[in-house]
Chain A
Amino acid sequence: MEKKRVVIVGGGAGGIILANSLNQKDFDVTILDKSDTQVFQPAFLYAAFMGKEVPTKKIPKLIKKGIKFKLDPVKKVDLTNKKVFTEGGEYAYDYIVVATGTMSDASTVSGLKEIDDKYGDYHTSIENAQRVWKNLNSFKGGTIVLGQASPICKCPPSPIEGVLLTEMLINRRKLKDRTKLVFFTPYPRAYSAEPINNVVEPIMKERGIQIMTFFDLDHIDANTLYSLEGDQIKFDLPIIIPPFKGAKIDYEPKTVLDDDRFIKTDKFNMRIQGFDDAFAIGDATNIPTSKAGVGAHLEAKIVANILQGKEDKFDGRTNCPFDLGYGKGTFVIGSYDQPVVPYPPSRLNHFEKMMMEKIYWSSLKGTFDFIFNLYFRHTDPIKLNKKFSK
């Protein structure tokens, strides 16, 4: 039997895990990306608020022998004719998996581009995260405002993690009595999912963080944020998470993209709407779950199973580590049919988050699959909700 050609667009966590999970006897696998380096993005948080290094690795070092990697930016995916057009040429496929992640687009909020250029952020690049760290260290007092500029945020816990780590830094720099910390969010509470909000909001309040809810950022002008709802916040130091959209790649047919360029994807089998031979995984999709590495990981495994003839179905599982500062953490754990667990904070949770950075690169090769499987079973949201939900 001839090998099936699988083209994977994107060499992030999802794309690499999928490539490494496919049996090379039956599949000829090619990964295309515009960069040959993968950045461990969860470490942006620690670069911005603790001055730590962000680990990076070359993609060819992360993939198993036999998988092809091409440093060749993709311009167009023609799903109808089963072809991918790149700057360097074109690739025909039997199966395609789109794992292009999400990209920030500060230009959609008036005034934000200037703020982002000047003050940085902690979601888009190492340089931007380092700029936040520099600003926080030269800060002498005043109002720090932190929040997400649009309803879609990559890594939903990260806005609150950012403000809690800011508080820890300001406290350690003994600037607490000269600083007002304001957190804004478009939601009715600090964290969109209520059960975990009940865990984190009291901690934020206890640490003196002011929470502005229903603050959907409309524009920024003269050191003031203005919301769609008509409220304002004046600031001295802004830390603003830019809006996120799908990658700038054209599709045929265009109708597979939603208004924010995310790919309309079946939330159970990860197929791109209307196509049996095309899949999308990770942040690139429009499925109703968090944009986070865990989704990309689990969805890659689902697609690998489906391609290899095993029946499988994504259950919408989330498992997002949530740093609460001062060495404590929680997790956001839920699924399509289970509400988020009100998971109590602990030092162990924080330790587990830190461990993820240590094992991340090996996890892409599947080295720790048995540990992940055990972990996911142990933290099943049905079981946890029985224990922790009232």
Chain B
Amino acid sequence: MSMEENKIFVDSRGSSCPGPIVDLAKAYRNSKVGDTIEIWATDKGIKNDVTAWAQKTGNQVLSIEDQPDKVVVIIKILKR
């Protein structure tokens, strides 16, 4: 995970257990309002999880993109 101009990048490819949702929760904890978090995951479960997570936490999913080798999710942190 690296921080650069309020953009947090998380490479969660290959994580099946504990899974990408753990990396998202960790990035959320280290984030500030206004940050964007970009997650790469191979576990397709991230799509439903991230939607439910954003709804619960009041943050915004900017995009969920299915690529051949991964899912790319971009989130904007509106609430902490």
Contact = CB atoms under 8 A, between A and B. Distances in A.
* A, B from the same assembly: yes
Interface of A: 150-153, 156, 186-188, 192-194, 196, 214, 216, 228-229, 258-260, 267, 286, 288-290, 316, 318, 320, 332, 334-340
Interface in B1-46: 1, 3, 11-19, 21-23, 25-26, 28-30, 42-43, 45
Contact of B16 (A150, A259, A260, A340): A340
B65 interface: no
A229 B26 contact: no
A336 B43 CA distance: 9
Contact of A192 (B3, B17, B57): B17
9 contacts: A151-B29, A187-B22, A194-B19, A214-B56, A228-B29, A288-B12, A290-B18, A337-B42, A340-B16
A338 B19 CA distance: 11
A338 to B, nearest CB: 6
Given A188-B53, A318-B17, A334-B17, 15 more contacts: A151-B29, A187-B22, A188-B56, A192-B17, A193-B18, A194-B45, A214-B56, A229-B56, A259-B3, A288-B14, A289-B15, A318-B16, A336-B14, A339-B16, A340-B17
Given A187-B21, A339-B43, A193 B16 contact: yes
Nearest to B2: A258
A292 B12 CA distance: 18
A258 B22 CA distance: 15
Contacts of B42: 336-337
Nearest to B51: A188
Given A192-B22, A193-B18, A228 B49 contact: no
Nearest to A108: B29
Contacts of A214: 52-53, 56-57
Interface residues of B, number: 28
A336 B23 CA distance: 15
B70 to A, nearest CB: 12
Given A228-B57, A336-B16, A340-B17, A151 B43 contact: no
Given A188-B49, A228-B80, A339-B43, A334 B16 contact: yes
A267 B14 contact: yes
Contacts of B49: 188
B1 A258 contact: yes
A152 B18 CA distance: 9
Given A188-B21, A216-B25, A288 B15 contact: yes
Which residue, of A152, A193, A335, has the highest number of chain B Cβ atoms within 10 A?
A193
A69 B44 CA distance: 45
